[in-house]
Amino acid sequence: MFASSFLVLGMLCIIYKDFVVGRPPEWPAEFRIPALGYITGAILMVCAIAILLNRYVIQAALCMATLILLLSVSRHLFSFTDTWINAFKSIALLGSCLIIAAAKNHSSSTHPGLHSSNLLLTGIFMQAAFLLICGYAHFKYAPFVDALIPAYIPFHSFWTYCCGICLFAGGTGLLIPVTRRSAALLSGIMIIGWFFLLHIPRFLADTSNKSDLLGVCESFAFAGIFFCVTGLLATTANKFSTVVDEHAYLGEIGIK
């Protein structure tokens, strides 16, 4: 799910002639270089295909993380007060790449020098921060969120605040070791539900809308990442279910 989303995002970088992952603010006119979109889009597509084929996954994920850091997170810093939600989204997408790298290294141990526990926890904390920020935004910008909900879904205000509470719960749950797996699973289910109920219908209603197309890709990628975290934690949950300290737990299961 994550890799296929980034494959499409790479295509969109080429189509829109810019790096669009994390929705960074547009470059000033004098700095716009279409070739940047072509090159970074091609790199994202190659990395996504590598992950889909299960080849050079760690290198591909870290390459994608580097691109997001340099071309999305850094650009948001100059307009953070205006683009803070997308800034946290770009940070969360960067964290998604770290989780992919950590998960692959945990399963194969091909790069013992990588501290997978640090990558994994950093990625999870980035996801948690984004969920908490989104929960806050649901309350701060409730009328705007209401307008995003398709007309066929009734009680817009109720769902706006309900989803805001769920986002707070998901972000908080990811920060607590004993609830992390459940929070990741439920967050993934929630977001894949939005993918089908919200993002797909909005995109089909106006296929020329760039924001809705990005929303389709982003929601599918985030759902995939939360399922990845769930699966990674589930592989060792039974054996070490009584371990409380997170770092001791990760060390025992071989993530160093």
Each residue's pLDDT tens digit, 66-102: 999 999 999 998 888 888 999 999 999 999 999 999 8
Each residue's pLDDT tens digit, 117-153: 788 899 999 999 999 999 999 999 999 998 888 888 8
Give 137-206 as a DSSP string: HHHHTHHHHHHHS-TTS--HHHHHHHHHHHHHHHHHHHHSGGGHHHHHHHHHHHHHHHIIIIIHHHHHH-
Query: Per-residue confidence at 29, pLDDT binned at 50, 70, 90?
Result: confident
Q: Tokens for 188?
A: 């993934």
Helix (H, G, I), strand (E, B) or coil at 104: helix
Pair 99, 124: CB distance under 8 Å: yes
Question: Do you know the residue count of the chain?
Answer: 256
**Global pTM value:** 0.87
User: What is each CA distance from 198 to 113, 145, 179, 186, 212, in whole angstroms?
Assistant: 42, 11, 27, 17, 10
Rounded distance, CA 227 to CA 221, Å? 10
Rounded distance, CA 187 to CA 139, Å? 18
